[in-house]
């Protein structure tokens, strides 16, 4: 006996789903447009003439900051770059790399350092080569020095009746181990290492700020300064906040129009930029011809193709 045929109309299922998706999409766009009009600040990146790179927190890696500096260096619309610092310092290597990248960027564009709440040790080292350094009067900065700390748990281990065993290829390989006292020879080696790094720090500040090395060395004892004190010692050029730094950038770079700050672009924001831009019509054509649209088209193709399928018949016998 033949079973009845069941006809599944795919359009009847697809259209409500697509309708809901479109409604959510347009509500989302309306919210972003409202924010743009009434808050006066777009929620996505736009073009600008002054790039702003943020150096926040402990400096452990330089990759992201260097990439942002490099992107702004290559952007012909960007006339100057502000590095906004709020960092207590961090690793020496990444700080040096950011310092060197700023030296490279300033060959073609003006770089201004804007010091926020704190820009000490590696946080200052990284931006010492900037064309101009601006700090708030109460900014904590300076701390030109190097430190290495070791925890000795030898007595604790002995109390716990534990016996560490160390195998090494050379007598200095476990230098700084917390399971034993450091020898005088090892202390001398470590002190020499710190002195060399400290001297590199002093030379970087001397070169970047155009100060006599002896003068820098006299204040490179690890002490911190307020922004006002740092200005008196030549570590800072002017006192002011981020907005004042934009004025400095405008003046140094010779920007005649109003300063329009631009933050680094985030991945996946091209589509929203296109939707919220005042010149959306022209950008729509460019977007449809871009590789970005090819990725969206690939994702949407199953939905689009289903619109042209009126029905499919499934015979169950």
Would you give the distance in Å from CA 70 to the centre of its chain? 12
pLDDT band at residue 13 using 50, 70 and 90 as cut-offs: low
The torsion angles phi and psi of 112, rounded to 5 degrees, stand at -115, 130
Question: Per-residue pLDDT tens for 76-90?
Answer: 999 999 999 999 999
Mean pLDDT of 171-179: 93
| Cα–Cα distance measured from residue 146 to residue 21, given in angstroms and rounded to the nearest whole number | 57
CATH 3.90.226.10 domain range(s) in the chain: 50-143+223-262
pLDDT the model gives residue 41? 46
Question: Looking at 173, 187, 195, 260, which residue is catalytic?
Answer: 173
Strands (E), the chain: 6-8, 50-56, 80-87, 110-120, 132-135, 140-142, 224-226, 238-239, 261-262, 312-314
pLDDT the model gives residue 98? 98
Cβ proximity of 276 and 41 under 8 Å: no
pLDDT the model gives residue 228? 97
pLDDT band at residue 47 using 50, 70 and 90 as cut-offs: confident
pLDDT band at residue 48 using 50, 70 and 90 as cut-offs: confident
Q: What is the pTM of this model?
A: 0.72
| Cα–Cα distance measured from residue 189 to residue 194, given in angstroms and rounded to the nearest whole number | 9
Is the pLDDT assigned to residue 302 strictly greater than 50?
yes
Burial class (CB in 10 A: 0-12, 13-18, 19+), 276: middle
Question: Looking at 87, 114, 121, 206, which residue is catalytic?
Answer: 121
206 is catalytic: no
CATH number at 50-143+223-262: 3.90.226.10
Question: Per-residue pLDDT tens for 191-222?
Answer: 999 999 999 999 999 999 999 999 999 999 99
Is the pLDDT assigned to residue 25 strictly greater than 80?
no
173 is catalytic: yes
Mean pLDDT of 299-311: 48
């Amino acid at each position: 006996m033949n079973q009845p045929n069941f006809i599944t109309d795919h359009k009847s299922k697809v259209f409500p789903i697509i309708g809901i998706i479109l409604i959510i999409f347009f509500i989302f766009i309306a919210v972003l447009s409202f924010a743009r009009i009434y808050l006066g600040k777009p929620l996505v990146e736009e073009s600008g003439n002054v790039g702003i790179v943020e150096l926040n927190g402990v400096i452990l890696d330089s990759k992201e900051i260097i990439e942002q500096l490099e992107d702004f260096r290559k952007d012909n619309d960007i006339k100057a770059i502000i590095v906004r610092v709020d960092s207590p310092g961090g690793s020496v290597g990444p700080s040096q790399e950011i310092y060197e990248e700023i030296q490279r960027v300033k060959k073609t564009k003006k770089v201004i350092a804007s010091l926020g709440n704190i820009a000490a040790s590696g946080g200052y080292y990284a931006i010492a080569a900037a064309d101009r350094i601006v700090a708030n009067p109460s900014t904590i900065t300076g701390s030109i020095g190097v430190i290495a700390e070791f925890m000795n748990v030898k007595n604790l281990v002995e109390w716990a009746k534990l016996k560490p065993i160390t195998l090494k290829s050379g007598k200095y390989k476990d230098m700084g181990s917390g399971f034993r006292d450091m020898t005088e020879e090892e202390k001398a080696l470590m002190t020499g290492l710190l002195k060399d790094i400290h001297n590199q720090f002093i030379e970087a500040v001397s070169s970047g700020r155009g100060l006599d090395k002896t003068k820098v060395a006299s204040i490179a004892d690890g002490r911190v300064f307020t922004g006002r004190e740092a200005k008196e010692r030549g570590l800072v050029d002017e006192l002011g906040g981020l907005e004042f730094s934009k004025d400095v950038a405008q003046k140094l770079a010779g920007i005649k129009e109003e300063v329009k700050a631009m933050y680094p672009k985030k991945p996946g924001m091209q589509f929203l930029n296109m939707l919220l831009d005042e010149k959306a019509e022209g950008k729509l054509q460019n977007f449809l011809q871009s590789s970005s649209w090819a990725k969206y088209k690939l994702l949407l193709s199953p939905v689009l193709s289903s619109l042209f399928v009126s029905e499919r018949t499934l015979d169950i016998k």
